[in-house]
Structures are given as C-alpha cells and as structure tokens.
Amino acid sequence: MAGSNASVRGSYVEAIRKFERSAELGPPRFTDDVSWRKLNRFRILLVHLQMGSRDAAAEDARAIAQLAGAAPAVMAALRAAPPEEALRRVLRTSVRLLSQHAEREYVSPVRRAELHAALGEDDEALRWLVQAARDRAPALASSIADPVFDGLRARPAFQWIADRVAGGSGLRPALVAEARPSAVSVSAVR
C-alpha cells in the first residue's frame, strides 16, 4: 500500500491521506467494502500511534468498532472511556475476533503481529512474525519495515526474520524458541 511506504518514510500526513483515499476508492476483488475500510482505518490508527497521537488513534479505534457493527452500548462505553482504554479495548477485541476468524480461514500472521505490537505485546508480536516467516506470508516482505515493529528491531528473533525476508539462511531454532508462547511473558499495554 502506498500509505505504508509514506509511513515508513515518516511522511505521516501523506500516509493518512493515502489510506483515506484507498478506502474511498474501494476494495480489491478479494474483500468487501467494510473490511477494506476497517483495514485502512487500522493502518491510519498505526500511523497515529507512530506520530504519538494516542487520542487520534483512539478515535480510529472507535471508528473501527463502528464499522465492525459494535452494539450501541459498546459504542457508548468506548466514547465514555479514556482514549488509552478505548484503544486497548478495540485492539484486544480485534485480536479475539481475528483468532475466531482464523479458525475458519487463513489470517495472515503479520496482521496478528501488528495488533500485538500496537498493544505493546512485543513477545507475542515476535511469535507471530516468526510464524509469518515460517508460512512465507506474502505480507511479511512489505510489512517488515513498518514502524509498528520498531520496538522489535533489536531483538535477535526480529533480526533473524529480517534476514530471512532479505534472502538469508534458514531457521535457527534458538531464536525461534525465544518466540514460543511458553517462553513469552506478555508486557503491559503502553
């Protein structure tokens, strides 16, 4: 996505404009309009997080909930919640819904990694990125430079993933073990 490229370059306003335009143009053939709008709003949420604009990210989260058809009571609770709490609730719900969706059809591990990274759950984000590398997930190559993963770049498992995406060597078990759920301690939401 063009907005992702602008976001990686730090051109946040341009990235937001491109994601908004992408949503307006409509979805590609493989998805529906609502899913496409939610995806682009999620990308804008990530840009707002990169900018340090947590209030704007919380508004994006509320917009995602609205697009997802959240019940009026849920929307009222999200509007009443402080921005950090609204953001956390929507991201947490997105993780749960994505897991349920994955029981029926393929969900890119990259998308799961993005959600966990946005929640500040670095170990879980790495676990899903390792899975994306194992699956050879198509989205990994274009997402590895995404700023949502900046906090992971110094980690050996992330370096292994980046090396693999760049055409490096095969699986190194010690680094993968670092990302296994049994070895993971979930960090608190920022």
Looking at residue 7, its pLDDT comes to 55
Tens of pLDDT, residue by residue over 76-115, are 999 999 999 999 999 999 999 999 999 999 899 999 999 9
* 86 in Cβ contact with 78 (< 8 Å): yes
What's the Cα-to-Cα distance from 45 to each of 61, 96, 114, 153, 173, rounded to whole Å? 7, 18, 11, 21, 34
Ramachandran class of 86: left when φ > 0, alpha when ψ lies in -120 to 50, beta otherwise: alpha
Q: What is the CATH number of domain 1-107?
A: 1.25.40
pTM across the whole model: 0.78
Q: Where are the domains of the chain?
A: 1-107, 109-190
Tens of pLDDT, residue by residue over 148-176, are 999 999 999 999 999 888 886 554 434 44
Looking at residue 142, its pLDDT comes to 87
Tens of pLDDT, residue by residue over 40-69, are 999 999 999 999 999 999 999 999 999 999
The residue among 9 and 97 whose pLDDT is bigger is 97
